[in-house]
Each structure stands twice: as structure tokens, then as C-alpha cells.
């Protein structure tokens, strides 16, 4: 828990945040100047940049979870995006609109949530911006990673015949896991070293929706998922008791699981499943074909189309809405 603090000016707050930021060799100059300076990466590597904006009432309920949980999630979802490109985290930039009545305390609480995660993945908080207003908490994180060849891995490289794998059980994240996502950075880097990866995406909007993004980006391909192969989280069963919807439906559409969907050639899939690198948890859930469209095969062999569903930020409410 963050220790309550008295009123602080913007620059004193920045000084405190700067003192808590951990250096990184890829960041030549971090918090404290008009801009940060990043050192060039290794020869043959690429810089990968992602950003996410999280809102109180939409992505978390600040009155219930507090600043530390909001900070953790805000950084974790960006690390998940870096994992989806098989990139090593380097630096993050955090811009916040803080509730004026408790701006300094909230800012330090956000840092309490982010700092251990940054330390664990070797990332430095290298800059950002702080503002205070009468509205709710808003946190925008921009993260930068470094991807070595053959990365970065995009979502556009799937090919007919490829296997579809996932790194963990799905569904029901709204029961609490949506606040503590586990970025699969280590898993992505281990997979990159061990197999030919055709496509990667993190499951932020739901398996059906995110795999649909892969199919579209790969030229309008299709896929068939095996219903009995999809790993369903125990939370999906608990949520099904509340909603009356089948657990499989939650696994396909809830979102905010932040597992990886991994698209690899069939031979690579067999090798990975037989000997997962570094203990990476993998389940084969389907196959890419020239479709088009996403389909689901029942345990009895019946094949039906899957409606692409999941969280939509511009909809009134998506299946994966955590607010």
C-alpha cells in the first residue's frame, strides 16, 4: 500500500518518480529532460512501440481496485503487446490525468503497481507527463521493446495448414484476472528461439475476435477451432453460473485473458507440444485454412460458424468490458 503523502507540486512529484525509476542500458537519458534518449539497439534488431489508454470506469474501477492495481494493469497490458511481437521490453512512458484531490498519492500508488513489474521484465520508466483535473483517473502508457531477427512477429503471417496454439486457459477474466494480467514476455521470447513463428497476437479481446484479426491480416484466411481442445479457465465456469452462458462461450469471447495465440507450421507445433521450451504451457486449439471465416468443430464433429465477438472499445459495452 502507498503511504499517504501531503500536497506535492508537479516538479517535486516528478523528482520522486525519477528517484524510483530503474535504469536500463537501452535508455541513455530518462525522466528529467524534455525528452528521453534511447540508445540504438543491437545490429539487426528493431524497435517496437505500443501504447494503451486506460480509463477509470472502463478498464478498471478505481474506487474498488485502487491506484496500485490500476498501475499494474496499465503497464501489464502494454508488456503483453510487446510479448505479442516477441519483443524484449526496454522503456515505458506514462502520461496520467490524476484526480486533483489526491493527485500525489495516486501517482505514487500507480508507481507502486508499475515498479515491481518493470523490474521483473527489465524495463525502465523513462518519462511521461502528469496532469490533475476534476475528472476520473486516466493512464496512458507507451512501451518500447527491442525485437531481434526473425522478429518482430506480426499477426499477418498465418498460412493454410498452420496450427493454432494458446498459452493458457481462457474466459471469465472479469472475476478478477483482468486486473492482474500476466504478460507472456518470457514465453514469447522462448518460442521465438525454439520454433518458426508465423504469427502472434495477445488475447486481449477474446480468442474468436483476436484470431479473427490474424485471419483478416493474413489475407482473409479461415480457421477451424476444436471445441473440446480449447482450455477453459475455472473462472469461465464460475461466470457461467452467473450469466447462464456456456463456459466455452466465455472462453471464446470474454477477452482480457492476455494469453498468446501462436500460429506455427504443423511440424513446429508437434515439436513444441512434445517439448515446450522453458516449460511454456501450450495447447493446440485449431488449424488455419483457406476458409474464409472462423468455425468451431463440436466433439461430435459438427462444424458451425463462430460469430466474431469480443471487447469493442467503441461499442456501448463489449463482452470483455472490465468496467
For domain 163-305, which CATH number applies: 2.40.70.10, 3.90.650.10, 3.30.420.40, 3.40.50.300?
A: 3.90.650.10
Whether residue 18 is annotated as binding a ligand: the answer is: no
Q: How far apart are the first and last CA of the chain?
A: 23
- pLDDT band (50, 70, 90) for residue 284: very high
Whether residue 202 is annotated as binding a ligand: the answer is: yes
- pLDDT band (50, 70, 90) for residue 309: low
The pTM of this model reads: 0.88
Angle, to 10 degrees, between the axis of helix 62-83 and the axis of helix 185-194? 10
Whether residue 128 is annotated as binding a ligand: the answer is: yes
Question: Residue ranges of the domains in the chain?
Answer: 12-147, 163-305
35 vs 78, higher pLDDT: 78
236 vs 12, higher pLDDT: 236
Whether residue 88 is annotated as binding a ligand: the answer is: no
Kind plus residue range of the DSSP H or E element containing 236? helix 234-243
Whether residue 213 is annotated as binding a ligand: the answer is: no
Whether residue 254 is annotated as binding a ligand: the answer is: no
316 vs 297, higher pLDDT: 297
Whether residue 222 is annotated as binding a ligand: the answer is: no
Mean pLDDT of 242-269: 97
The topology (CATH level 3) of 12-147 is 60s Ribosomal Protein L30; Chain: A; (3.30.1330)
Contact 194, 277 (CB under 8 A): yes
Whether residue 256 is annotated as binding a ligand: the answer is: yes
Whether residue 50 is annotated as binding a ligand: the answer is: yes
For residue 160, give the C-alpha cell: 493454410
Helix (H, G, I), strand (E, B) or coil at 104: helix
β-sheet bridge partners, residue 297: 226, 303
- pLDDT band (50, 70, 90) for residue 8: low
Amino acid at each position: 500500500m502507498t503511504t499517504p503523502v501531503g500536497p506535492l507540486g508537479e516538479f517535486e512529484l516528478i523528482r520522486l518518480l525519477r528517484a524510483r525509476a530503474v535504469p536500463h542500458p537501452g535508455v541513455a537519458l530518462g525522466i528529467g529532460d524534455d525528452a528521453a534518449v534511447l540508445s540504438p539497439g543491437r545490429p539487426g534488431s528493431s524497435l517496437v512501440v505500443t501504447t494503451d489508454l486506460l480509463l477509470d470506469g472502463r478498464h478498471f474501477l478505481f474506487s474498488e481496485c485502487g491506484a496500485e492495481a490500476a498501475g499494474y494493469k496499465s503497464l501489464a497490458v502494454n508488456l503483453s503487446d510487446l510479448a505479442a511481437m516477441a519483443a524484449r521490453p526496454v522503456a515505458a512512458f506514462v502520461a496520467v490525468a490524476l484526480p486533483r484531490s489526491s493527485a500525489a498519492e495516486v501517482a505514487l500508488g500507480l508507481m507502486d503497481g508499475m515498479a515491481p513489474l518493470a523490474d521483473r521484465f527489465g524495463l525502465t520508466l523513462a518519462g511521461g507527463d502528469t496532469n490533475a483535473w476534476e475528472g476520473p483517473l486516466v493512464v496512458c502508457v507507451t512501451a518500447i521493446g527491442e525485437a531481434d531477427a526473425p522478429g518482430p512477429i506480426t499477426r499477418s503471417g498465418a498460412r493454410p495448414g498452420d496450427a493454432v496454439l494458446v498459452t493458457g486457459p481462457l474466459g471469465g477474466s472479469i472475476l478478477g484476472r483482468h486486473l492482474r494480467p500476466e504478460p507472456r514476455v518470457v514465453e514469447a521470447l522462448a518460442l521465438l528461439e525454439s520454433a518458426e513463428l508465423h504469427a502472434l497476437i495477445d488475447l486481449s479481446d477474446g480468442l474468436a475476435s483476436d484470431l479473427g484479426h490474424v485471419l483478416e491480416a493474413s489475407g482473409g484466411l479461415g480457421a477451424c477451432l476444436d471445441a473440446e481442445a480449447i482450455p477453459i479457465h475455472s473462472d469461465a465456469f464460475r461466470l457461467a453460473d452467473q450469466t447462464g452462458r456456456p463456459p466455452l462461450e466465455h472462453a471464446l469471447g470474454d477477452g482480457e485473458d492476455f494469453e498468446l495465440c501462436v500460429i506455427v507450421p504443423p511440424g513446429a507445433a508437434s515439436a513444441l507440444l512434445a517439448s515446450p521450451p522453458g516449460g511454456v504451457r501450450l495447447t493446440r486449439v485449431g488449424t488455419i485454412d483457406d476458409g474464409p471465416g472462423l468455425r468451431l468443430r463440436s466433439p461430435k464433429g459438427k462444424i458451425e460458424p463462430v460469430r466474431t465477438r469480443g471487447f469493442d472499445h467503441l461499442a456501448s459495452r463489449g463482452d470483455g468490458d472490465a468496467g
